[in-house]
């Protein structure tokens, strides 16, 4: 996953190319200074790699991340999907001209996924027809297995999960909590394939419906990397109950083996 020209991207301490050196990943056309429980609404084009997974007759059930024209990364427990929507912000606006609907060719879940502990909770999804990149649809960068996300760093979580208000997609920044501290809070339920993110006083968290969606790190280069996948939690936004995410760096080799990315 290394390339002699990757240095031109200027990632401090990062030598990998997420897809290829010509790939324009992790860049969004829309930014702002400034729903996740306790979070804030997101705008069109703000998180262009966010994908909505739908089941026929039920609508949205999980999120996913676009990582190339043909591949998504999601959670293994989000399996029963019939279609995907890219470039979507409002679940009530599926017919918007910026939205692309794609059928699924295949879903590959990690063979070691444990539906009791949620260890190895990751899956890759291949689209029947490649996505067309636009200002509203762009891939997120995949980190190398050696990429470091330091404890305390703010990471961004997005999705259409349950909120106190309902409505469209939401977003908020949450601090990365070390594995030792998180295992103390969640009674040793974490494995090396998991990472813990949240505000210990509660009030902000991923929730039902956010599963499979992206946990994003904004790097010094301003490019954005997929740090984790929304996996599980003990309730939503409770005090001393941070959310748990599948750790991309620990599962990166498997993703590469399945997708070639």
Q: Which of 60, 110, 121, 147 is an active site residue?
A: 121
DSSP codes, the chain = -B-TTGGGG--TT--B-SS-TT---S--S-------BT-EE--TTSSTTEEEEEETTTEEEEEEEE-SSSEEEE-TT-----EEEES-S-TT-TT-TT-EEEEEEEEEE-TT--TTT-TT--EEEEESSPPPP-SS--PPBPPPTT----TT-EEEEEE----SS--S-EEEEEEEE-HHHHHHHTTT---TTEEEE--TT-S-B--TT-TT-EEEEE-TTS-EEEEEEEEE-SSSS-TT--EEEEEHHHHHHHHHHHH--
Q: Which of 211, 217, 231, 246 is an active site residue?
A: 211
Q: Which of 77, 119, 217, 231 is an active site residue?
A: 77
234 labelled catalytic: no
211 labelled catalytic: yes
43 labelled catalytic: no
Q: Which residues are catalytic?
A: 77, 121, 211
């Amino acid at each position: 996953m290394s390339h002699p020209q990757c240095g031109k991207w200027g990632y401090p301490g990062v030598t990998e190319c997420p897809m290829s050196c010509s790939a324009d990943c992790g860049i969004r056309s829309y930014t702002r200074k400034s729903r996740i429980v306790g979070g804030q609404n997101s705008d069109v084009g703000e998180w262009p790699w966010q994908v909505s997974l739908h089941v026929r007759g039920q609508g949205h059930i999980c999120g996913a991340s676009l990582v190339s024209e043909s591949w998504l990364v999601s959670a293994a427990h989000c399996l029963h999907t019939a279609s995907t929507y890219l470039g979507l912000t409002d679940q009530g606006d599926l017919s918007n001209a910026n939205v692309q609907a794609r059928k699924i060719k295949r879903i590959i879940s990690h063979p070691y996924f444990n539906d009791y502990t949620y260890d190895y909770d990751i899956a890759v999804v291949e689209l029947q027809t490649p996505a067309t990149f636009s200002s509203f649809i762009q891939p997120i960068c995949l980190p190398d297995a050696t990429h470091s996300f330091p404890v305390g760093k703010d990471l961004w979580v997005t999705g259409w999960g349950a909120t106190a208000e309902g409505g469209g997609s939401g977003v908020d920044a949450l601090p990365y909590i070390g594995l030792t501290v998180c295992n103390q809070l969640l009674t040793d339920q974490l494995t090396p394939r998991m990472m813990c993110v949240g505000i210990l006083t509660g009030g902000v968290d991923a929730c039902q419906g956010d599963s499979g969606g992206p946990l994003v790190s904004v790097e010094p280069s301003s490019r954005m990397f997929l740090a984790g996948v929304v996996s599980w939690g003990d309730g939503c936004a409770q005090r001393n109950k941070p959310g748990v995410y599948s750790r991309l760096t620990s599962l990166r080799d498997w993703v590469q083996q399945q997708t070639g990315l």
